[in-house]
């Protein structure tokens, strides 16, 4: 019996996102995200209850401003005191781990899914999931894009609008498209 598409996704193999089980998982996430984004701030708290239950782990004091979007939710792990500003999108087909005290500016986007390079593969819904790891006390500037397979070290800074295509060492500042290190002044 062939492996399920969800199992292939979790194993980091090519899978098709055009699958009933995978779609059911996305629908569950959409419902939790809708609740979070629809609740008044006083009722939402740091996270809407359905979103908090959906996420893989939520550290003490972690906060997500609305609106927020994620693909599945269960692959997201937030450390203590993590803050995601309004408009963040996390396409968590693979693990997304964000270390304690890390701040994400408005409209930060994290994309774990990589689509097939051949048109026929894309039409068949083929993609592969690549994890993202962001260390503790990092700062990701507004509208930055982080691609799958990237690791960002503790204390790193990603400038606003940067597109991060490769690993960022700890305590390094990167800016631009593609993101490149700069000397701190």
Residue range 55-68, pLDDT digits in tens: 999 999 999 999 99
pLDDT of residue 1: 44
Digitized pLDDT (tens) for each residue of the chain, 185 residues in all: 459 999 999 999 999 999 999 999 999 999 999 999 999 988 887 888 999 999 999 999 999 999 999 999 999 999 999 999 999 999 999 999 999 999 999 999 999 999 999 999 999 999 999 999 999 999 999 999 999 999 999 999 999 999 999 999 999 999 999 999 997 66
Residue range 134-155, pLDDT digits in tens: 999 999 999 999 999 999 999 9
SS3 97: strand
Gap between the Cα atoms of 136 and 144, Å rounded: 17
Region of 178 (left: φ > 0; alpha: ψ -120 to 50; beta: rest) is beta
Distance (Å, rounded) from C-alpha 18 to C-alpha 3? 15
User: Which architecture does CATH list for 5-182?
Assistant: 3 Solenoid (2.160)
Strands (E) in the chain, as ranges, are 15-16, 57-58, 63-64, 68-70, 76-78, 83-84, 88-91, 96-98, 103-104, 109-111, 113-115, 126-129, 132-134, 139-140, 145-147, 151-152, 157-158, 163-164, 173-175, 180-182
User: Catalytic: 115?
Assistant: yes
Marked catalytic residue, from 36, 69, 115, 116: 115
Pairing of strands 103-104, 132-134: unpaired
CA 88, CA 71: separation in Å to the nearest integer?
Answer: 12
* pLDDT given for residue 2 in this prediction: 52
pTM score, two decimals? 0.95
Which neighbouring-strand residues pair with 78? Answer: 58, 98
């Amino acid at each position: 019996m062939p492996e399920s598409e969800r199992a292939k996704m979790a194993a980091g193999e090519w899978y098709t996102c055009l699958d009933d089980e995978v779609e059911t998982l996305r629908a569950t996430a959409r419902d939790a995200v809708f609740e979070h984004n629809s609740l008044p701030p006083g009722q939402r708290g740091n996270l809407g209850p359905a979103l908090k239950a959906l996420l893989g782990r939520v550290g003490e004091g972690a906060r997500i401003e609305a609106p927020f979007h994620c693909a599945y939710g269960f692959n997201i792990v937030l450390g203590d005191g993590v803050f995601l500003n309004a408009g963040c999108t996390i396409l968590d087909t693979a693990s997304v781990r964000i270390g304690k005290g890390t701040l994400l500016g408005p409209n930060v986007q994290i994309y774990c899914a990589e689509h097939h390079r051949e048109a026929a593969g894309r039409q068949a819904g083929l993609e592969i999931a690549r994890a993202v790891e962001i260390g503790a006390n990092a700062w990701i500037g507004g509208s930055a894009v982080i691609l799958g397979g990237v690791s960002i070290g503790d204390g790193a800074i990603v400038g606003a609008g940067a597109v991060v295509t490769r690993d960022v060492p700890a305590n390094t500042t990167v800016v631009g498209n593609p993101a490149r290190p700069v000397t701190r002044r």
